[in-house]
Chains A and B, each alone.
Chain A
Amino acid sequence: MENEAGALSRVAGLFSARGYNIESLSVAPTEDPTLSRMTLVTIGSDEVVEQVTKQLNKLIEVVKIIDLNDGNHIERELMLVKIRAVGPDREEIKRLAEIFRGSIIDVTDKSYTIELTGTSSKLDAFLEAIERSAVLETVRTGASGIGRGEWVLKV
């Protein structure tokens, strides 16, 4: 979409006005600074997703829309999670982070802050593997997606 003030609120407003769900939304400018790319995750029947797509297409600032589910695609989400880490837990959490290919990016004597990238379900799985009360704080970006192979989304 056009990288213009207000474009994001048009998208968000459309979803709330028409009663569609936004599971997650991630947006940033692209290599062409006049354009932003947004990955939006929504849930709905085929009919609803069709309507969502059509309605989004009507927004003047939306340049192009693809449904990544129409083809093979890759999606990744970034999570930063602060975990209570004292005593024997410290080793355990470190190992778990390694298993999930996360990295510890900040350390205090009571906590680790772990950076983790992957599909949203992988991030969910990591959180489930850790004792609920040990999770002090999480922040997630929402998924970003791109098609597989040589095909590119061009304007």
Chain B
Amino acid sequence: MIRFDNVSKTYPKQNRPALSDVSLEIEKGEFVFLVGSSGSGKSTFLRLTLREERPSSGEVHVMGKDLGKLSNWKVPHMRRQLGCVFQDFRLLPNKTVAQNVAFALEVIGKPKSAINKVVPEVLDLVGLGGKEDRMPGELSGGEQQRVAIARAFVNRPMLLIADEPTGNLDPQNSVGIMKLLDRINRTGTTVLMATHDQAIVDQMRKRVIELDKGLLVRDQARGVYGYQH
């Protein structure tokens, strides 16, 4: 699903590489935590996976495509096959819950009939049935993140990328979001989640990839957040 071959990334005007000679492979259907302190290269790793950046050297393969060789105009098509969730939810404040999810389908040109059918389905799936017409500002943080997950998942992507999805949530809401991500993972979707949340990582016992100063320092099949933190 995701393969990094000796990937390094150095941003312009910076001496130290943000990512240095990282090689790893994530299989279809896996649930993977990406951990590491701030500046460890987590964000760069995700940006390379989303092809918001290109590697300085090495190859990034996502869903069978070499992203370094993918031409610009094919990038939107590639992004339609994966979903993204962020710490700050990234919802449109002037659209209702249902409109926020529908927006993602409208801008890729889905017909109205299909949108009307799948939006209520996916809102039910994330546990927001009955709140279709609420505005994001009226919802709790946990509910807003569920809307964002609904939007990311509405196209049934093969890969879901989550960048600290519980970063702004209290522990109770965080557990709810993790249960939802776990359910999505069980449908066969690969989940890659960057996080700082030690409790969640320790509890889930999934594969853990740790980065430190751009280097891959740990890749553990059923890992915990860290040996000593």
Partners in one complex: no
Interface residues of A (CB under 8 A from B): none
